[in-house]
Amino acid sequence: MPHNGRVTSASSYVSTSSEPLRHLLVLPDRDAAEEAADEAGRRFGLDEDPQIVREALAGEDDAEDAQWLVVLEDPDGDLDVAALRELADEYDGWLEVE
C-alpha cells in the first residue's frame, strides 16, 4: 500500500516551484474588491496595482450571482499568505492561491 505524505495547510505552504504565484482575494461585490485592492497596495507595497476581475458563478446569468476577484501577482513568493487571508476576511471574502 502506498504511503501518503503529510498534509499542510495553505498558510504554511512554501512554493519550491520556479513558477510565479498568483493570489486571489474572492470578494462579494465590486466595492469590497476595489477597497481591498487599494488596501493591499498600501499594506504590501506592491509594485503593480492588483487587477480586479468579475467572475460569474458557473451556470448563473444574474449579475448578483457574481464574485469579484482581486488578483495579486507574487512572482517571488514574498507575500504573506496569512496576512492576505486576513485582508480578504476583513472584506467578507476568502483567499485562494494558484
Domains and CATH numbers, the chain: 20-97 (3.30.70)
Please state, in angstroms and rounded to a whole number, the distance separating the CA atoms of residues 58 and 47. 32
Per-residue pLDDT, 12 = 41
**Confidence (pLDDT) at 28:** 95
Alpha-carbon span 8 to 6, nearest angstrom: 6
At residue 56, the pLDDT reads: 77
Q: Which helix (H) or strand (E) holds 31?
A: helix 30-44
Q: Which three cell numbers stand for residue 47?
A: 509594485
Q: What is the pLDDT along the chain (98 residues), one digit of tens a residue?
A: 444 443 333 444 444 455 669 999 999 999 999 999 999 999 999 988 999 999 876 655 555 668 999 999 999 899 999 999 999 999 999 999 98
